[in-house]
Amino acid sequence: MSGSDTSTGRFGLVRVEVLGRTDYLGHKRVAMINELPDYFRAEGFEPDLYYREPGDGETEGVEDIRLFLALGMASGVIGSAAWAALDAVGAWVPERIRREYPHEEFSPLQQQVTVNMYAGDGVRLVRVGITRVGYYYRYIHPDIKGSSQ
């Protein structure tokens, strides 16, 4: 099977792990998290979404999301897949924050979703905070940094 022609989408499987405290898991948050797979499908992935309670010190923001791409670093499409996965989360985050905090004004860094992305072979690709207004990159793997976005 060709990675770009599978029935699971252009980029194949992406495992989406959402870490968040279940005591804050209200109806609005559940609804928004359940919409996240649609954002990945629009970018050419077949998402496998699950939610779990974090361990001590594991979360930094509104949510922490860990993405695990099925592709390894040797794949010729890893850079395109990484940027497409960030586009999916980046489209979801502002709406997610707006829905939970519709009447509140925040500084750009106050409410963020932290995203850590890994290739299928375990290599960290990206660590980024995403807010209503933009991306705050903390790490981008050198092999994908120059890939087209």
pLDDT digits (tens, 9 = 90+) for 96-129: 888 877 776 665 556 788 999 999 999 999 999 9
11-48 per-residue burial string, b: 16 or more CB within 10 A, e: under 16: bbbbbbebbbeeeeeeeebeebbeebbebbeebbbbbe
Strands 45-52 and 12-19, how do they pair? parallel
Domain that holds residue 39: 12-145
Q: Give the pLDDT score at 83.
A: 95
Q: 27-42 vs 78-100: helix axis angle to the nearest 10?
A: 150
- Whether 3 maps to a domain, the answer reads no
> Which pLDDT value is given to residue 69?
96
DSSP state of 49: E
In a domain, 6, yes or no: no
Number of domains, the chain? 1
Give me the CATH number covering residue 58: 3.30.429
Q: Which residue has the higher pLDDT, 43 or 30?
A: 43
Nearest-angstrom CA–CA distance, 94 and 19: 18
Structure-derived torsion over alpha carbons of residues 14, 54, 140, 83, reported in degrees to the nearest 10? 30
Answer yes or no: is 25 within a domain: yes
Over 70: is that where the pLDDT of 42 sits? yes
Q: For residues 75-97, give the mean pLDDT.
A: 92
Q: Above 60 in pLDDT, residue 77?
A: yes
Its pTM stands at: 0.84
Q: How far is residue 149's CA from residue 147's CA, in Å, rounded to a whole number?
A: 6
**What is residue 6's predicted lDDT score, i.e. its pLDDT?**
42
Q: In what order do the strands lie in the sheet with 113-118?
A: 45-52, 12-19, 63-69, 113-118, 124-130, 135-140
Residue 5 within any structural domain of the chain: no
Q: Note the pLDDT of residue 99.
A: 81
Amino acid at 144: I
Average predicted confidence (pLDDT) for the chain = 83
Q: Which range is most confident: 48-57, 71-80, 140-149?
A: 71-80
